[in-house]
């Protein structure tokens, strides 16, 4: 079977495609801040104004009040993410990224150094881990192997480990 042939992109074409994907070629219309952040994968938020400026440069009809409201409704969170720096991302993306990033944060000592984290980050992580654990447990015949008490005890143990600042 012949391999499909794809055109080779020039450096300029690759550059333009990257800029377009990041909403930097032209300001997009009709996107709300949460959707824009999900499309571009978040923006740096080291300084308080940074996410506002980043979205203003990308969205033609950007109103800073809509981003502020999204932060207040917790649809957007500012959290330590890529390169252990602050980023603004949608809460949905954050929930997806957090379980993958927690081991790196722990290994780097970011938790012990007091790296800023959004309110409830440990609970979010525990919720994700718990959802995963319960999904896995549902695949097993839990009632045949464990008493309800031992399952609850194990869930509480995992939850305490996630909330412990020096958990390994």
pLDDT at 142: 43
Average pLDDT, the chain: 77
Q: Say whether both 43 and 31 belong to one domain.
A: yes
Q: Say whether both 56 and 104 belong to one domain.
A: yes
Residue bearing the bigger pLDDT, 102 or 158: 102
Q: Say whether both 20 and 78 belong to one domain.
A: yes
Global pTM?
A: 0.61
| CB environment 52-89: b (16+ within 10 A), e (fewer) | bebbeebbeebeeeebeebeeeebbbbbbbeeeebbbb
pLDDT at 5: 84
Q: Say whether both 57 and 114 belong to one domain.
A: yes
44-50 mean pLDDT: 91
pLDDT at 70: 95
Question: In this structure, is residue 35 part of a structural domain?
Answer: yes
Q: Say whether both 84 and 146 belong to one domain.
A: no
The CA distance from 153 to 82, in Å, is 34
Both ends of the chain: CA-CA distance in Å?
49
CA atoms within 13 A on the CB side of 42: 24
Nearest to 64 by CA among 75, 55, 74: 55
Q: Say whether both 102 and 140 belong to one domain.
A: no
Q: Say whether both 103 and 46 belong to one domain.
A: yes
Is it the case that residue 76 has pLDDT exceeding 90? yes
The residue behind tokens 């409201």 is 69
Range of the domain at 127: 120-168
The CA distance from 53 to 41, in Å, is 16
Q: Say whether both 106 and 152 belong to one domain.
A: no
Question: In this structure, is residue 3 part of a structural domain?
Answer: no
The residue behind tokens 């994968």 is 41
Model confidence over 102-153: pLDDT tens digits?
A: 777 666 665 555 555 555 655 655 665 555 555 544 444 444 444 444 555 6
* CA angle at 160 for the pair 85 and 117, rounded to the nearest 5°: 15
Question: In this structure, is residue 2 part of a structural domain?
Answer: no
pLDDT at 98: 82
Q: Say whether both 86 and 139 belong to one domain.
A: no
Question: In this structure, is residue 7 part of a structural domain?
Answer: no
Residue 25 is classified by DSSP as S
Is it the case that residue 168 has pLDDT exceeding 60? no
Q: Say whether both 66 and 96 belong to one domain.
A: yes
Q: Say whether both 110 and 132 belong to one domain.
A: no
DSSP of 144-162, one letter per residue? HHS-HHHHHHHHHHHHHHH
Domain count, the chain: 2
pLDDT at 117: 56
Residue bearing the bigger pLDDT, 62 or 7: 62
């Amino acid at each position: 079977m012949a391999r499909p042939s794809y055109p080779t992109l020039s450096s300029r074409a690759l550059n333009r495609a990257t800029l377009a994907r990041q909403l930097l070629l032209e300001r997009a219309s009709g996107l709300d801040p949460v959707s824009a952040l999900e499309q571009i994968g978040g923006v740096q938020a080291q300084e308080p104004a940074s996410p506002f400026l980043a979205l203003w440069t990308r969205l033609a009809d950007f109103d800073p009040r809509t981003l502020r409201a999204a932060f207040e409704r917790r649809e957007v969170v500012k959290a330590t993410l890529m390169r252990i720096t602050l980023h603004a991302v949608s809460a949905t993306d954050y929930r997806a990224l957090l379980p993958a990033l927690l081991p790196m944060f722990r290994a780097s000592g970011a938790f012990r150094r007091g790296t800023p984290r959004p309110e409830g980050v440990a609970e979010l992580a525990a919720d994700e881990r718990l959802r995963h654990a319960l999904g896995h447990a549902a695949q097993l015949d839990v009632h045949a192997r464990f008493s309800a008490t031992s399952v609850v005890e194990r869930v509480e143990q995992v939850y305490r480990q996630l909330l412990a600042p020096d958990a390994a």
